[in-house]
Amino acid sequence: MDDSQRRTIIAFLLIIAILFIWSLISYPSGSGTKKEDRVADTVKVAVSSEEGLIPEGDTIVIERNAYRAVFSTAGGGIKRFYLKNYDAELIPEGGALFITKIADSILSCKHYTEKDSLVFFAEIKGKKYEKIYHFNEDGFVIKVNFPDTIAHILSLKSGLRITEEKNQGDDLRYFNVYIQSVKFNSIIKDIKDKFSFKDEWQWIALRTKYFVMIINNLEDCGTAEFYRLSKSSDECNTAFINCAAGGNTNRYGIEILNQCPFKISVLVLPVKFTVLARYRQNYEQIESGGIWGPIARIIIFILNTFYSFMKNYGLAIILFALLFKIIFFPLSRQMIISQRQMQLLQPELKKIQEKYKNDPQTLNREMLHLYRVYRINPFSGCLPLLIQLPIFFALYQVFTTAIEFRRAPFVLWITDLSFKDPYYVLPIAMGILMLIQSLMTPIDPRQRFMVIMMPLIMIFVFLNFPSGLQLYWFIYNILSIVENLLIKKKILH
């Protein structure tokens, strides 16, 4: 195997190492939970055992185009919040959000409805208590009036539900709590069991992998207390345990404490940069995407453009792979030509290596001189791989977190491009294609083991990646083989 091929192998191994490390640290930062406590919540777990189930009360159903909300007269809270466009229930079974507590007791209310509004009322120490929900398509506004002689608690201590049943652990890793005050912060590291934020805040957000509930302080909101919710000890998500080296492992709840009437607005939105940014309230920081975010947003835009006329994200991914193969064709062509030139130069290189084997400095100088004479860049074989590395990482981020691919089908057994191939057909086929591609170049017998092992390593790395990414790399390998044949045919001709 010549130096160019050896460097290509090193570049591949470098990519694998970086990808493995990055996959562990790319999730929203966790709270340092001990390994023995890393037991995943499940969809059926309602609330923590210490919180208990919310008392039953009369229910009221509010239907909007985007959601269905089920309210209870027990605390004037929300028992169910179903997003119709995403087939997602956000409130844990048996739990409730925006419950009113007075002196740690849930307030029993009566209610009546008006146009686009629901009003809960009660009498506290002979004085009127009133809680008004006003509904819009993205959420609702809550205005609470009560005697200023009482301590009012608005409880969201049940937290948000795990919505992704097929991959609950991965969903849980993205659970987070954000607060915008003087600056934007993720505060889950501060929530050991309970954390009080007493400064003035503009908004608070509870996030799952794909959805976020944002509470805006419109008027006189008080202290916000955050809770790390306990997990069910008899339930364990093995998929999560297998990848528990990074990311968050808890759900979180909130209680807002007030001594005077207050007003909030609540938005329930997909974690999608363009949707969050349109409010101009810095919500987009929730989905900034880190250093790969700008590239990821360009990729999503391209894929959405293809989807707009193909109506299938799998086909959009195939077209996207073809587009990038065309864009990188000049680099790939130069890489193959360089590999061919290095093969032709091997006899001369071996002579120099033999002649100066005891003089490393002279050997390096003579080899560089030989490269200059024949106008060969020995590193050109690695360049296309290294240039594509940021794009590959951004693609991983897109298929892992972009809500567009949540439950997006392709064909046959691929029913969710955000989830792994359930039968591992794509990663295995991808590995076979990589092996074929490797065998298309002359191989030094001493390097044959490494050439065979690399596709096996890549199969292992890709095994649990989203099937959208597996599909992209599978198609990209097919196109690479075709490209390799065409370029070599032209060179030989």
Q: Write the DSSP assignment of 241-265 as a string of letters.
A: HHTTTSS---EEEEEEEESS-EEEE
* pLDDT, position 343: 73
pLDDT at 32: 39
Beta-bridged to residue 216, according to DSSP, are 203, 265
Beginning with the edge strand found earlier in the chain, give each strand of the sheet holding 127-135 in spatial order: 110-114, 117-124, 127-135, 139-145, 262-270, 211-219, 203-207, 176-180, 184-186
Strands 139-145 and 152-156: unpaired
Full-model pTM: 0.82
Mean pLDDT of 391-404: 92
Where do the domains of the chain lie, and which CATH numbers do they carry?
3-23+298-492 (no CATH), 31-287 (2.70.98.10)
- Per-residue pLDDT, averaged over 146-175, amounts to 90
Residue 450 predicted with pLDDT over 80: no
Which range (306-320, 376-390, 467-481) has the least confidence?
376-390
pLDDT at residue 254, rounded to an integer: 96
Q: For the chain, what is the mean pLDDT?
A: 83
pLDDT, residue 45, reads: 35
Question: What is the H or E stretch that residue 183 is in?
Answer: none
For position 237, what pLDDT does the model report?
43
pLDDT of 235-263, one tens digit each? 334 334 434 445 678 999 999 999 899 99
Q: What is the per-residue pLDDT for 444? A: 61
| β-pair partners for 253 | 227
Res 492: pLDDT: 58
Estimate to the nearest angstrom the gap between the alpha carbon of 308 and the chain centroid.
23
pLDDT exceeds cutoff 60 at 268: yes
Distances in Å between the Cα of 436 and the Cα atoms of 4, 41, 380, 454 are: 18, 43, 22, 12
Q: What pLDDT score was predicted for residue 150?
A: 86
pLDDT of 1 higher than 50: no
- 391 membership: H or E segment, kind and range: helix 383-401
Average pLDDT over residues 381-395: 78
Task: Name the phi and psi angles at 270, rounded to 5.
Answer: -70, 150
What integer pLDDT is reported at residue 364 of this predicted model? 83
Residue 92: which pLDDT band, with cuts at 50, 70 and 90?
Answer: very high
Separation between Cα atoms, residue 10 and residue 445, nearest integer Å: 17
Condensed to tens digits (0 to 9), the pLDDT of residues 57-72 reads 789 999 999 999 999 9
The order of strands in the sheet holding 59-63 is 59-63, 67-72, 77-83, 88-89
Separation between Cα atoms, residue 238 and residue 235, nearest integer Å? 10
- pLDDT band of residue 17 (cuts 50, 70, 90) is low
Contact, 29 vs 189, CB < 8 A? yes
Taking 3-state DSSP, the helix, strand and coil percentages for the chain, each rounded to the nearest 5, stand at 45, 25, 35
Is the per-residue pLDDT at 311 higher than 80?
A: yes
Q: Average pLDDT for residues 84-91, to the nearest whole number?
A: 96
Instruction: Average the pLDDT over each of 353-367, 386-400, 461-475 and give the range with the smallest value.
Output: 353-367
User: CA–CA distance from 111 to each of 4, 59, 80 (Å)?
Assistant: 76, 10, 17
Q: Give the pLDDT score at 487.
A: 79
